[in-house]
Amino acid sequence: MIYHVSPVEIVEITESGLFGHGLFFASYECKAGKFAYSLELSELKVISAKSLCYHIDETEDPEVIAFAKKFGLDIDTAADAICEGNVCLYDFLSPDDACYAGFEIQRLALVLAEKLGFDAVELEDENGGVWLVNGHVAQRKWKLDIAE
């Protein structure tokens, strides 16, 4: 099982969040919210971000190209960052821009995964292994537990 915890009930999935329509799930339930959503990982089509570069040419993808242009990165550096290569954005960008670009990379990894027919992308962040899941897919499959 993987879990997403929220302080508010998720009624509608929108594109307005930092990760578009993606929701982060982890392998453990954080107790920081009243609403805990769980998914069976085996019911999702998942690809790891590290595998994306073997299945899609990011250097030709218009969204990756726009990302590289927005942050002044060469296309290969941008593609390597999305595939969780050995790229440290802080070597190329200001701390604020690197932080924002890191979030954008996670969103783009889900976009690329979806282009390949996947529901989610497995990523590594400060919490270890996490999954950024298409929120529309998650909402159709999740189980909700409300803390009392």
Question: Do 110 and 57 belong to one domain?
Answer: yes
Give the pLDDT of residue 132: 96
pTM for the model stands at: 0.90
Q: Are residues 35 and 83 in the same domain?
A: no
- Please check whether residue 137 is in contact with residue 114, taking contact to mean a CB–CB distance below 8 angstroms: no
Do residues 79 and 128 both lie within one domain?
A: no
Residue span of the structural domain in which 79 resides: 47-115
Determine the average pLDDT of the residues in 83-104. Answer: 91
117 pLDDT band, cuts 50/70/90, is very high
Do 70 and 96 share a structural domain? yes
User: Do residues 72 and 96 both lie within one domain?
Assistant: yes
**CA 122 – CA 86 distance, rounded (Å):** 17
Q: How many domains does the chain have?
A: 2
Q: How do residues 27-83 score in pLDDT, each as one tens digit? A: 877 767 788 899 999 999 999 999 998 898 888 999 999 999 999 999 999 999 998
Do 38 and 53 belong together in one domain?
no
pLDDT at 143 over 80: yes
Same domain, 107 and 128: no
Write out the DSSP string of 61-82.
-HHHHHHHHHHT--HHHHHHHH
Question: Same structural domain for residues 57 and 41?
Answer: no
pLDDT at 147 over 80: no
